């Protein structure tokens, strides 16, 4: 049983296309995240949802739109893809709550997006 | 002030040796410092974490040393093995309504057989 699963694992698409990445966690965690890892391996947070509510929205182009239909799912839709969007996108979840419990992240295995 | 600086960028260690990776931070509000291990093609996985009320935490061959006054923390891998070859990330977060981790830039460790 995969704890945090992302689909697809690889995505190759042309500039200007719109694409989505899906993420599901079966850990019962309250919080989910999208991170972007660039070619230098740098991990940068993009979004975070807690129980379907957006709680972190970093400086990300508005071509990126997250959507959380329920607390087990967090999808990422990207419009008008650009070459610079090529990266590995990681979904993660945690049992953090805004009342103070703390745990580590569980990451998915990533989606490698290549824009050509 | 939100940065976490990690060094070295890459590290080569002989099997059985000690691998040491260092991180430094500025924001004194950080109160949780995890280390993550990432193998090629996989997502990062939590390895060990520490809070600033202790100076050291050990789990098996992995030890975090924490120096609150210097705002530095480090990961020590004792008896390094080829299977430890991976990229290691330190991170820091703060309880301020959200649990955003700020990650270091990563250290690529290679342990030679």
Q: How far apart are the first and last CA of chain A?
A: 34
In the predicted model, what is the mean pLDDT of residues B76-103? 87
In the predicted model, what is the mean pLDDT of residues B39-63? 93
Would an 8 Å CB–CB cutoff place A44 in contact with chain B?
yes
Q: What kind and span of H or E run contains A12?
A: strand A10-13
In the predicted model, what is the mean pLDDT of residues B91-101? 72
Nearest chain A residue to B95, by CA? A100
- pLDDT tens by residue, A54-106: 888 887 899 999 999 999 999 999 999 999 999 999 999 988 654 444 667 89
Would an 8 Å CB–CB cutoff place A100 in contact with chain B?
yes
Q: Do B97 and A55 make contact, defined as CB atoms within 8 angstroms? A: yes
CA distance A18 to chain B (A): 24
């Amino acid at each position: 049983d995969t704890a945090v699963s992302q689909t697809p694992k690889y995505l190759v698409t042309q500039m200007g296309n719109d694409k989505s990445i899906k993420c599901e966690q079966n850990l019962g965690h309250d919080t989910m995240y999208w991170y972007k890892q660039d070619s230098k391996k740098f991990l940068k947070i993009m979004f975070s949802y807690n129980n379907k509510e957006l709680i972190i929205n970093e400086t990300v182009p508005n071509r990126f739109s997250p959507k959380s239909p329920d607390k087990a799912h967090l999808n990422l839709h990207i419009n008008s893809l650009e070459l610079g969007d090529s990266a590995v996108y990681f979904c993660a979840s945690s049992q953090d709550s805004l009342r103070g419990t703390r745990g580590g992240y569980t990451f998915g295995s990533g989606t490698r997006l290549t824009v050509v | 002030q939100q940065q976490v600086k990690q060094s070295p960028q890459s590290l080569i260690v002989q099997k059985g040796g000690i691998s040491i990776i260092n991180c430094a931070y500025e924001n004194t509000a950080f109160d949780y410092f995890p280390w993550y291990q990432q193998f090629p093609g996989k997502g990062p996985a939590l390895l060990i974490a520490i809070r600033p009320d202790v100076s050291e935490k050990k789990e098996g061959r992995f030890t975090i040393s924490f120096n609150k006054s210097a705002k530095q923390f480090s990961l020590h891998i004792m008896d390094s093995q080829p299977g430890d070859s991976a990229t290691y990330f330190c991170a820091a977060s703060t309880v301020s309504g959200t649990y955003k981790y700020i990650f270091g830039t990563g250290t690529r460790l290679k342990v030679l057989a």
